[in-house]
Amino acid sequence: MESLNLTTKILVYNYEESTEAIKKLINEAKSATKRAYAPYSNFHVGAAILLSNGEIISGNNQENAAYPSGLCAERVTVFHANAQYPDVAVETIAVAACNSEGEFTANPCSPCGGCRQVLLEVENRYNRPIKVILYGENKIYELESAKALLPVGFGADSLFD
């Protein structure tokens, strides 16, 4: 028997300590929350992606009365970016969440398992890490790679030959 120890490095800082580039991406994610369609949960999530060509793409969660039919902000944004710029890598994603009154979460909101898997797939697709910025009013988490969110992820190497 062996033991596998996994470690995730997360930088923790506040908005004022962010670089201008990170602030811009966070602001885009926060702005995207205002366009979310979340009449059932009242949990508005926005995401913004910086592509390697400098483009910024934003998106938000889209709910549906048949709950499984909705889609998270991270996936809406990633899929839109991949549809518009299929040959351009994702460099960074920022995520922010608020309630229907526009009050942002005090602590960072982390992507769900499905979104983590999609981010990992995109990271593998372009063979480069995606920096992940998770915004909260009190603190921000920064991870150097989506793999840090899903260290034992499912990928092409998991499939049978």
Active site residues: 74
Strand order in the sheet with 43-51: 11-13, 140-143, 131-135, 90-99, 43-51, 56-60
Contact between residue 73 and residue 60 where contact means Cβ atoms under 8 Å apart: yes
Between CA 86 and CA 82 the distance in angstroms is 5
Residue partners of 24: CB distance under 8 A and separation at least 6: 56
